[in-house]
Amino acid sequence: MHIVIVGAGAAGCFAAIALKRECPWAEVTLLERGIRPLAKVAITGGGRCNLTNSFKQVKSLEQVYPRGHRLMKRLFHRFSHKDVYEWFQNEGVKLVTQPDECVFPRSQQAMEIVHTLTERINRLGVKLYTRCKVQAIEPCENGFIIRTSDNSYKADKVLVATGGWPKAASESPITGISLQTNLPVPSLFSLALDASTLTERMGLVVEDAVVTLPGTKFQAKGPLLITHWGVSGPAILRLSSYAARHLAEKGYKGTLSIRWTGELPHDLVKEMLEETAATHKQKQLSGIHPFGLQARLWTHLLQRTGLQEGLRWSDLQGKALHKLINTLTNDCYNITGKNRFKDEFVTCGGIALDELDSSTLEAKRYPGLYFAGEVTDTDAVTGGFNLQAAWTMGYVAAQSIAEKLKQAKQ
């Protein structure tokens, strides 16, 4: 029995290992279009590899999987974040869970994960071919023909794990297969703003900001980083994930509202400002910066409000107080675009989940053809959730294929 896995990323490599361990007699071939396997894993998490999350702060999977949360809930019953943690620990990779619940190798080296997986692939006898671009997958009697630029392979089962599609559906690796797809668009990107006085403060981080797209339901919270082009950081990346398709449809134009005071209620913001004014009556507004805001950002917000830095706190009354509260809680900027595509790691879109068996990841219309990872219309916010989806889907697809192989062998 010959199984071909298209794509040697996280899902593909994990599936190859799981499949070969379950069915040592099966021939497993990995086809990778790039020059090396696991290239994306090697650079994820800033080269440290945020390989999963403890999920302790996750109340609902919809919170971290904007698309595919129902599927992931079902698949986690078969292989969850706890199973991933245990798997890597058993393979000799010591892990550490950070205060934000992100899980990294204790070595803080993504290459430890890469080397662990590639060593297992080699030891198990999985055949790996790089620089091998799949051009078509064609159903045939008792299986599939996989055509590459310089070869063809006959397979009994095929797992497609090619990751996100970088440009358009025409670049999909599944020519010859008719499946409904949702056109991939970028997810997890930073935003460019028309805000020169803000971007002059590049490098500043607000630890607890809330960002929204006014007039929509899209909102996110967390650390916000001011950059030389606009804003980034976990809050913005989460917002871009939630609103990926909406922002694409709007041409990455619109309005971004920033709540610099986090989730503090409006009345409490007013009360804290009034208390500060009462305590520091004779001091200048620029000399005291409440809510933990850094001095450079505070002066920017005063300028945005139209308040002179030389004003005293005792002058902060009436309309001036109201305007400052509004700036702190609903500071709006024009979105002019996003960062370049090559800087993005995740896309939303891909094979429509309705096309797949939600228990096995097998294509309903093509028995023997499976899909795993970002090639499906499943994606997540930052924090190790995308890699967790890759491990889970790769494992479940491999187990599903293994069950079919064992049945056929009997």
What is the tens place of the pLDDT at every residue in 20-73?
A: 999 999 999 999 999 999 999 999 888 999 999 999 999 999 999 999 999 999
The closest alpha carbon to 253, from 283, 233, 230, 272, belongs to 230
Tokens of 310: 């030389």
Among residues of the chain, what percentage have pLDDT more than 90?
88
The SS3 of residue 347 is: strand
pLDDT at 177: 87
Q: How far apart are CA 399 and CA 8, in angstroms?
A: 17
Q: How far apart are CA 291 and CA 273, in angstroms?
A: 9
How does residue 318 score in pLDDT terms, banded at 50, 70 and 90? very high
Q: What is the DSSP letter of 257?
A: E
Q: How far apart are CA 339 and CA 298, in angstroms?
A: 26
Give the pLDDT confidence of 207-225 residue by residue, as tens digits: 999 999 999 999 999 999 9
Given a cut of 70, is residue 116 above it in pLDDT?
A: yes
Q: What is the mean pLDDT of residues 241-248?
A: 95
How does residue 88 score in pLDDT terms, banded at 50, 70 and 90? very high
Q: How far apart are CA 94 and CA 410, in angstroms?
A: 39
Give the pLDDT confidence of 124-182 residue by residue, as tens digits: 999 999 999 999 999 999 999 999 988 999 999 999 999 876 554 444 557 778 899 99
294-298 long-range contacts (CB < 8 A, ≥24 apart) are 294/204, 296/201, 296/204, 297/201, 297/204, 297/206, 297/226, 297/260
Question: Which residues lie below 8 Å from residue 21, measured CB to CB, with a gap of 6+?
Answer: 124
| CA distances (Å), origin 384, targets 31, 36, 109, 379, 381 | 25, 22, 15, 11, 8
How does residue 292 score in pLDDT terms, banded at 50, 70 and 90? very high
pLDDT at 171: 47
The SS3 of residue 212 is: strand
What is the average pLDDT score of the chain? 94
The closest alpha carbon to 355, from 373, 370, 345, 333, belongs to 370
The closest alpha carbon to 346, from 373, 316, 308, belongs to 373
Given a cut of 90, is residue 345 above it in pLDDT?
A: no
How does residue 341 score in pLDDT terms, banded at 50, 70 and 90? very low
Domain with CATH 3.50.50.60 in the chain: 2-186+345-409
**Is residue 12 left, alpha or beta, with left meaning phi > 0 and alpha meaning psi from -120 to 50?**
alpha
Q: How far apart are CA 358 and CA 326, in angstroms?
A: 46
pLDDT at 340: 57
pTM attached to this predicted model: 0.89
Q: How far apart are CA 221 and CA 237, in angstroms?
A: 10
Looking at 188-251, which runs of residues are DSSP E strands? Answer: 191-193, 205-212, 219-226, 230-232
Q: How far apart are CA 204 and CA 264, in angstroms?
A: 21
pLDDT at 170: 44
Tokens of 42: 């090697």
- Per CATH, the number for 2-186+345-409 is 3.50.50.60
List residues bridging with 145 in a β-sheet: 138, 154
* Separation of first and last alpha carbons in the chain: 13
Question: What phi, psi does 134 have (nearest 5°)?
Answer: -80, 130
Higher pLDDT, 272 or 177: 272
Given a cut of 50, is residue 342 above it in pLDDT?
A: no
Tokens of 106: 């204790």
Give the pLDDT confidence of 365-398 residue by residue, as tens digits: 999 999 999 999 999 999 999 999 999 999 999 9
Q: What is the mean pLDDT of residues 189-207?
A: 95
pLDDT at 172: 54
Give the pLDDT confidence of 297-307 residue by residue, as tens digits: 999 999 999 99
Given a cut of 90, is residue 183 above it in pLDDT?
A: no
Question: What phi, psi does 195 have (nearest 5°)?
Answer: -160, 70
Q: How far apart are CA 9 and CA 338, in angstroms?
A: 26
Tokens of 219: 């909102």
pLDDT at 179: 92
Rg of the chain, C-alpha, whole Å = 25
